[in-house]
């Protein structure tokens, strides 16, 4: 096999209280790559569509190429690849756009090399894509995009990643207000020190969310979707944030918070119907500030990357 086309899903990082340590994947949107083996020894980005010309084509700077370069270096293989990247989600949206490109590319290249590494072993290479995109090799987007479902980063050093069971009827609503927030900027504004009382609240909520997911206790999941450290700062970048969140909860969602570094918001609900109602309410609330938005409703994606052909 010399050519492969792979889709990798968007992701919701942080999931309220789990800044940098928790994320889950959704079925849509996501990015698509076509990766081809070539006779040269270069990794080349041959085309990017859907990015309005915003992404770098320099192989050392693009998330989809750098991950393949790092993978080849690790394996000690000299092999040329040509990559076509089809962006199918907005950049700077907080839905793991750079992660989906990195995951699709590294997964595709690994397949063309006859699968020397498992998805879990590919994770450090996908993280290098995040380093190129925003300066921080966080794993809470690439982890779930690569492994599917809910993924916990128990530790970064050493890297210790755990997949968490996904309750059957959980649905995600993603609202993308059409403004751009760059992850790099959304990280720089965060406070570097936190109060012990806030830390106690936060780790109570992270642990509660983990327990809720494992026990399929939807009430506990809802009660645990509170972030007292990151949301108060980042929500200031999202016009009408409090109203949009309240609208989701009033429509029956278990909880609602910022997706990754924003500006997208996500809500979790116990059925597709409630997820749709939450989405409609969130979109209405968002439009009060004259901001257009895109809406995505999806079950939790348990598969991760998908080979298209």
Cα 134 to chain center, whole Å?
Answer: 13
Q: How many CB atoms lie within 10 A of CB 54?
A: 11
Answer for the pair 199, 139: CB distance below 8 angstroms, yes or no: no
# residues contacting ligand HSE (CB under 6 A): 14
Rounded Cα distance between 152 and 147, Å, is 11
- Judged by CB under 6 A, the residue of 9, 30, 92, 94 near ligand HSE is 94
Q: Is 9 in the site for ligand HSE (CB under 6 A)?
A: no
* 174 or 186: CB nearest ligand HSE: 186
Shortest gap between Cβ of 189 and ligand HSE (angstroms)?
11
- Per CB under 6 A, does 261 bind ligand HSE? yes
List, as one string, the DSSP characters of 199-218: HHHHHHHHHHHHHHHHHT-H
Residues in the chain: 309
Work out whether strand 80-86 and strand 43-49 pair parallel, antiparallel, or are unpaired: parallel
Torsion (CA) 83, 86, 114, 42 in degrees, nearest 10: 10
Nearer to ligand HSE, 13 or 170 (CB): 13
Of 96 and 148, which has the nearer Cβ to ligand HSE? 96
Our answer to whether residue 166 is catalytic in this structure is no
42: CB partners within 8 A, 6+ apart: 59, 80
Tell which residue, 124, 262, 67, has the closest CA to residue 180. Answer: 262
- Does position 243 bind ligand HSE by CB under 6 A? no
Q: Does 183 bind ligand HSE (CB under 6 A)?
A: yes
Smallest separation (angstroms) from ligand HSE to the CB of 19: 6
Encoded one letter per residue, x for contact with ligand HSE by CB under 6 A and - for no contact, window 128-147 reads ----------x-xx------
Which position among 34, 183, 231, 270 bears the catalytic label?
183
Among 14, 101, 173, 277, indicate the residue that binds ligand HSE (CB under 6 A): 14
Over the Cα atoms of the chain, what is R_g?
19
CB of 226 to ligand HSE, least distance (A): 16
Instruction: Work out which of 37, 131, 187, 306 binds ligand HSE, going by CB under 6 A.
Output: 187
Residues with catalytic function:
130, 183
Contacts to ligand HSE by CB under 6 A: 13-14, 19-20, 94, 96, 138, 140-141, 183, 186-187, 260-261
């Amino acid at each position: 096999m010399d050519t492969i086309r792979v889709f990798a899903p968007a992701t919701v990082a942080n999931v309220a209280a789990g800044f940098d340590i928790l994320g889950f994947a959704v079925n849509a949107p996501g990015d698509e790559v076509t990766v081809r083996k070539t006779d040269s020894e270069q990794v080349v980005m041959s085309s990017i569509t859907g990015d309005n010309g915003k992404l770098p084509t320099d192989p050392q700077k693009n998330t989809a190429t750098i991950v393949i370069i790092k993978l080849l270096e690790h394996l000690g293989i000299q092999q040329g690849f040509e990559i076509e990247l089809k962006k199918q989600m907005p950049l700077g949206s907080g839905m793991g756009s750079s992660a989906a490109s990195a995951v699709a590319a590294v997964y595709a290249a690994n397949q063309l090399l006859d699968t020397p590494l498992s998805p879990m072993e590919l994770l450090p290479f996908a993280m290098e894509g995040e380093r190129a995109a925003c300066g921080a090799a966080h794993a809470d987007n690439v982890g779930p995009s690569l492994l599917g479902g809910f993924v916990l980063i128990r530790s970064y050093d050493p890297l210790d990643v755990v997949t968490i069971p996904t309750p059957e009827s959980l649905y995600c609503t993603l609202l993308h207000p059409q403004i751009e927030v760059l992850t790099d900027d959304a990280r720089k504004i965060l406070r570097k020190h936190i109060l012990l009382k806030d830390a106690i609240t936060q780790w109570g909520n992270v642990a509660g969310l983990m327990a809720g997911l494992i026990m399929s206790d939807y009430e506990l999941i809802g009660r645990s979707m509170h972030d007292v450290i990151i949301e108060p700062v980042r929500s200031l970048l999202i016009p009408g944030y409090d109203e949009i969140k309240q609208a989701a909860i009033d429509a029956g969602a278990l909880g609602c918070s910022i997706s990754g570094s924003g500006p997208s918001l996500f809500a979790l609900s116990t059925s597709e119907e409630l997820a749709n109602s939450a989405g409609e309410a969130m979109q209405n609330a968002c439009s009060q500030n004259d901001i257009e938005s895109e809406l995505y409703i999806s079950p939790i994606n348990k598969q991760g990357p998908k080979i298209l052909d």
